[in-house]
A and B are shown apart, each in its own frame.
Chain A
Amino acid sequence: MELARDLRKGASLTTVLAPVAGAAIGLAAVPDPVFSQAMVGPGTAIDPRREPGTAIAPISGTIVKLHPHAFVVVGDDGRGVLVHLGIDTVQLKGEGFTLLAAEGDHVTAGQPVVAWNPAAVEAGGRSPVCPVVALDAPAESVGDVVQGDVDAGDLLFQWS
């Protein structure tokens, strides 16, 4: 089935960029089993710098879902990447997040999507760690996962 999908999509390679600046720590370090056990999908997570920042689009494509605390960008090849800004941040109901794009917008990789402040999320008692997940991807399709310091827009992982 995975082979069939590769054939259908021409075995493309998706370069996923770091949506925020910080330290790439891997999904296993996320304090939420739904991400740390890769239930949502493979990828990594970034422990963001504790300063006001902007989350950018990790790939070029359409913003199919935009919540203040999370968004999904789907590339022209149909591949979707989820960026989740902090853990349990749905409970903030958008407070502290400013949308810089709109659902349905076509964005290029690196374009600002949401402004937020990881320090404020942490001060509110929540983890600001940001999972970046390849949706519907087999675990082995994600590689070249960067570890350590990244700036927003740096290569984060490759999705083959």
Chain B
Amino acid sequence: MAERKVSVTSEVGLHARPAATFVQTAAKAPFDVTVAKAGGQPVNAKSILSVLALDVRQGESIVISADGDGAEELLDQLAQIASAS
């Protein structure tokens, strides 16, 4: 299991454009991808409903996890999206 912990820096948090881009990118993976608030329950990173309901605000940390061929590259992409301002 590979994972990345990043701080969400977008003013809107992981909502709107960052959330949609994040979910679209995760959905391309043939393996499961999850996202959680630091210390919280992971949710399906491919679900816009789950990601919006997770309600990550600016400045909060998230942990993105995946396991599979290409997981490291995907997590790098997702971490970049989540930490872009």
Please report which residues of chain A, range 82-135, place their CB below 8 angstroms from some CB of chain B when the two chains form the complex.
82, 90, 135
* B60 part of interface (Cβ distance < 8 Å): no
The total of chain B residues at the interface (CB under 8 A) is 14
Q: Which residue of B lies closest to A74 (CB)?
A: B49
Q: Which of B13-21, B32-40, B64-72, B75-83 contacts A (4 or more CB under 8 A)?
A: B13-21
Of the four ranges (under 10, 10 to 19, 20 to 34, 35 or more), the interface on chain A belongs to 10 to 19
Q: Which residue of B lies closest to A79 (CB)?
A: B49
* A26 part of interface (Cβ distance < 8 Å): no
* B63 part of interface (Cβ distance < 8 Å): no
- Cβ of A34 and Cβ of B52 under 8 Å apart? no
B interface SS class: helix
* B61 part of interface (Cβ distance < 8 Å): no
Q: Shortest Cβ distance from B85 into chain A, in angstroms?
A: 15
- Cβ of A39 and Cβ of B53 under 8 Å apart? no
- Cβ of A34 and Cβ of B20 under 8 Å apart? yes
Query: Which residues of A sit under 8 angstroms from B55, Cβ to Cβ?
Result: 65
- Cβ of B53 and Cβ of A65 under 8 Å apart? yes
Query: Which residues of A sit under 8 angstroms from B24, Cβ to Cβ?
Result: 39
